[in-house]
Amino acid sequence: MIGTMIEWYDFFIYGFLATSLAAYYFPQTDPIAQTLTAFMAFAIGLFFRPLGALLFGAMGDRLGRKATFMIAIFLMGSATALIGILPGYAQIGVTASVLVFLMRVIQGLSIGGAWGGAASLVAEYVSQEKRGYYGSFTTAAAPLAVVVANGVILLLNFMLGKEAMAAWGWRIPFILSLILVFVSLYLRWKIEESPVFSGMK
41 belongs to a structural domain: yes
Please state the domain count of the chain. 1
Which pLDDT tens digit goes with each residue over 60-91?
888 877 788 788 888 988 999 999 999 999 99
175 belongs to a structural domain: yes
**pLDDT value at residue 162:** 86
Tell me the pLDDT of the chain averaged across its residues: 87
The enclosing domain of 67 has a CATH number of 1.20.1250.20
**pLDDT value at residue 87:** 93
CA distances from 122 to 55, 62, 130, 137, 198 (A): 19, 18, 10, 9, 14
Q: Find the mean pLDDT for residues 49-58.
A: 90
Which pLDDT tens digit goes with each residue over 162-171?
889 988 999 9
Residue 183 confidence (pLDDT) above 80: yes
9 belongs to a structural domain: yes
**pLDDT value at residue 144:** 92
Q: Find the mean pLDDT for residues 171-188.
A: 86
User: Given pLDDT bands bounded at 50, 70 and 90, which one contains residue 100?
Assistant: very high
Q: Other C-beta atoms within 10 Å of 14: how many?
A: 24
180 belongs to a structural domain: yes
**Which one is predicted more confidently, 99 or 122?**
99
- Residue 111 backbone phi and psi in degrees, to 5: -70, -35
125 belongs to a structural domain: yes
91 belongs to a structural domain: yes
User: Given pLDDT bands bounded at 50, 70 and 90, which one contains residue 98?
Assistant: very high
Q: Which amino acid is at 92?
A: I
32 belongs to a structural domain: no
CA dihedral (44, 9, 81, 94) positive or negative: positive
**pTM of the predicted model, to two decimals?**
0.88
**pLDDT value at residue 97:** 93
141 belongs to a structural domain: yes
Look up the domain containing 69 and give its range: 1-27+37-192
Tell me the C-alpha distance between 40 and 104, whole Å.
Answer: 10
Rg of the chain, C-alpha, whole Å: 18
Q: Find the mean pLDDT for residues 43-58.
A: 91
